[in-house]
Chain A
Amino acid sequence: GENVEQHPSTLSVQEGDSAVIKCTYSDSASNYFPWYKQELGKRPQLIIDIRSNVGEKKDQRIAVTLNKTAKHFSLHITETQPEDSAVYFCAANAGGTSYGKLTFGQGTILTVHP
């Protein structure tokens, strides 16, 4: 089955710096890669996603890049703010007929220091 590896497990940056989180996946049939932000005690919230027919997608300070050949995708947050502090999860959908199954990475705890 699909395996998603996420690095780093913790990331500490100063306000205004950029943050990059990287994920690799194993299933070459995966074609959908969302990123979720989860604050303590809250639900995972979708912040950006990318599909396999696109190499890069940007939404204000957040961008995601996808390299299908290497099977890795990354989240880039620019001009970080203290409210960006949270746990970030990458995920990949299952290929074939495994509808609706997202496999998540282990998460990255991002801390933005004022």
Chain B
Amino acid sequence: DAGVTQSPTHLIKTRGQHVTLRCSPISGHKSVSWYQQVLGQGPQFIFQYYEKEERGRGNFPDRFSARQFPNYSSELNVNALLLGDSALYLCASSLESAADTQYFGPGTRLTVL
């Protein structure tokens, strides 16, 4: 039973660089959401994609962007990294609608130095 997968597991970058994080949803799931979890806080919504279209965007700057591919996998891109971008980036997969259960991947731990 393949759950949500994310890569890489850990990443260290310096300020000003850009980063690309990847997510593969559960087979059959068409929706992917991205969340940022800063240490000691709950996850914060960044984006939701369904059928390759952006369906929702959280309160994050334009340095954050994402896309979804025909196989429903997704990428999150962050440009001009800041120290405050250091966090656990979580991908969540769901079947379709807003009320569908979301299953989280293991996350990518991003450290910005």
Specify which of A32, A97, A98, A105 is in contact with B42 (CB 8 Å cutoff): A105
Cα A94 to Cα B94 in complex, Å, equals 15
Question: Which residues does chain A contribute within 8 Å of B42, judged by CB atoms?
Answer: 6, 89, 91, 104-107
A interface size (C-beta, 8 A): 27
List residues 11-63 of chain A with CB under 8 A from any CB of chain B.
31-32, 34, 36, 42-46, 49, 51
State how many angstroms separate the Cβ of B7 from the closest Cβ of chain A: 14
Q: A31-B99, A44-B104, A51-B99 are in contact. Are A99 and B43 (CB under 8 A)?
A: no
Q: Is the pair B41, A93 in contact by a Cβ cutoff of 8 Å? A: no
Q: A99-B97, A100-B33 are in contact. Are A43 and B44 (CB under 8 A)?
A: no
Q: Does B79 have its Cβ within 8 Å of any Cβ on chain A?
A: no
Q: Is the pair A43, B105 in contact by a Cβ cutoff of 8 Å? A: yes
Q: Is the pair B90, A101 in contact by a Cβ cutoff of 8 Å? A: no
Specify which of B43, B56, B101, B102 is in contact with A98 (CB 8 Å cutoff): B56
Q: Is the pair B56, A101 in contact by a Cβ cutoff of 8 Å? A: yes
Cα A31 to Cα B98 in complex, Å, equals 9
Contact with A along B34-64 (1 / 0, CB 8 A): 0100001111110010100001101000000
Question: Which residues does chain A contribute within 8 Å of B31, judged by CB atoms?
Answer: 99-100
Q: Is the pair B104, A100 in contact by a Cβ cutoff of 8 Å? A: no
State how many angstroms separate the Cβ of A18 from the closest Cβ of chain B: 23
Q: Is the pair A44, B90 in contact by a Cβ cutoff of 8 Å? A: yes
Question: Which residues does chain B contribute within 8 Å of A86, judged by CB atoms?
Answer: none
Q: A34-B102, A43-B105 are in contact. Are A102 and B50 (CB under 8 A)?
A: no
User: A residues bordering B, Cβ < 8 Å?
Assistant: 6, 31-32, 34, 36, 42-46, 49, 51, 89, 91, 93-94, 97-107
Given A100-B55, A102-B45, 10 more pairs with CB closer than 8 A: A6-B42, A36-B104, A44-B90, A97-B55, A98-B56, A99-B55, A99-B97, A101-B98, A104-B42, A104-B44
